[in-house]
Amino acid sequence: LERRSEFFLTEDEKNFLVVGGATEWVTVRKAGMLFLALSVPAGSAVLSPELTIGADVAMLCEFAFGGAGVSFVSEGPRRELLRTEGRSSLTIELDELAGMTGRFEIRALSDVSIVRWVIGRVDRLNLLCARTHHSRRVDNEKTTFAAVYDHPIYNDRVQSGGRGVFEKPRGDRAVRATSDATLESLLAAPFAAVRDGENAYLYGNRVLTELIALPPPNFSSRLSALYRDRPVRVLSLCSGAAGVERGIIENAGIPVDITLFDINDDLMGRAAATLEGIATISGVTGDVNGISSDQFWGTFDVVLCVSGLHHVVELEHVLKTVAELLDKGGEFWVVGEQIGRDGNRLWPEAYAVGNALFSSLPEVFRRNAHTGAIDAALPTSDFSAATFEGIRSSEIEALLLGWFEPVHLFRRNCFLWRILEQTYFSNYDLANEEHRRTILRLVAAEYNLWKNGGRPTESHSVYRKR
């Protein structure tokens, strides 16, 4: 094995050695989630490649069960670093090994399952974890997204051109940004009337948008403003079925050349059908993590990504390439992005508030559409364990600032979406006044938390390259 400075354990790479009995990759359940883990029989050991340890390096290991001893093996004496028993997850700094070269060894004291094992600079540990099991995650992504788009919430999005997600407020605001929202203030607001075609998710999010003083970016007007004497050149990353793109381009009413980029061939076909007659379309099927400016002709006026960055592992590389692909004065639009805790989770403080509200709702609103059960609490699953969902969502905003300056930030939704999304939204009948009041109470609580320091999970924002 070649000498390296960092390491991550994955079934995709033969970058580790086994001493003793055969190991195998197995699926284990840990904290309610399924993980791929390397099962090591008692007495056997797994060795990392030879690593040269630099400054600020740490090791992160996570075991599902079993006992293990972790050591550093070099030309000098073997160093025992730690011993674990049962489930555990730990990170240790390796400052004492800085400047040394050697292998790390996990020895199974009893049959042990290694869920994660990553060694690298502290600010790269999350990236290294995200690089694991890439081929499995890709397979999962392709099968899941074909199915996800068959869900009514996505059909609504495509049919409405995504307008419900960030519709421009009409200015008839009953609540000033300085006061808290209440059920009464919302009931008195003209915008809180239900509009045709709305479901609980679209309705709750629209009313929330109306409350926020700075409206979301008007992407269609921005697109029109970029039109000169040739079609505006747009690149859409992780374009999926391109429903939101269609809405933006239709409203802009100007000639657009759009290049679609997605990993899923089937969705590329759907996107082409969605945009037919609205724009000139070309497409690149590929993995955005390996995107290169050589894949495209020239540069773009706008690069946009709708709900896609939270699926990206190589964010640094992708953002750098987006900056290269943008024309001078060009814009990067981050639309409907998940910027919450990794794994599409809420930030802990917002979870506490949202969950307290959710768990006190009548049972009728807590029926889980996937399981049929009545949920006592909001789900907390970390979807990034086995998929690309929210794989590095917590890092998106900070990394964007390495290549771009924000022009217009619209961030909201500390917890509301989690209560009104696919899992629960069909529990609400908007024609039922009590159901509508329940949604408005949730919207008011969401707005009040957001206004008072609550950390949002959703961004619709415009950036310009540095």
Ligand X SMILES: C[S@@+](CC[C@H](N)C(=O)[O-])C[C@H]1O[C@@H](n2cnc3c(N)ncnc32)[C@H](O)[C@@H]1O
Binding site for ligand X (CB under 6 A): 141, 145, 238-241, 243-244, 262-264, 267, 287-289, 306-308, 311, 388
Q: 161 vs 240, which CB is nearer to ligand X?
A: 240
Q: How large is the C-alpha radius of gyration of the chain?
A: 24
Residue 302 — φ and ψ, nearest 5°?
-135, 130
Rounded least distance, CB 306 to ligand X, Å: 4
Q: 384 vs 438, which CB is nearer to ligand X?
A: 384
Rounded least distance, CB 102 to ligand X, Å: 34
Rounded least distance, CB 439 to ligand X, Å: 23
Residues 6+ apart with CB under 8 A from 420: 200, 201, 204, 205, 428, 439, 442
Q: 113 vs 461, which CB is nearer to ligand X?
A: 461
Rounded least distance, CB 145 to ligand X, Å: 5
Rounded least distance, CB 407 to ligand X, Å: 21
Rounded least distance, CB 309 to ligand X, Å: 9
Rounded least distance, CB 137 to ligand X, Å: 8
Q: 6 vs 262, which CB is nearer to ligand X?
A: 262
For the record, the structure tokens of 370 come out as: 């996937």
Q: 262 vs 331, which CB is nearer to ligand X?
A: 262
For the record, the structure tokens of 317 come out as: 């590389």
Rounded least distance, CB 389 to ligand X, Å: 8
Q: Where are the alpha helices (DSSP H) in 212-346?
A: 219-225, 243-252, 265-275, 315-325
Q: 261 vs 415, which CB is nearer to ligand X?
A: 261
Q: 230 vs 370, which CB is nearer to ligand X?
A: 370
Q: Residue 356 corresponds to which amino acid?
A: A
Q: 62 vs 397, which CB is nearer to ligand X?
A: 397
Rounded least distance, CB 335 to ligand X, Å: 8
Q: 330 vs 390, which CB is nearer to ligand X?
A: 390
With CB atoms as reference, the residue minimizing the distance to ligand X is 240
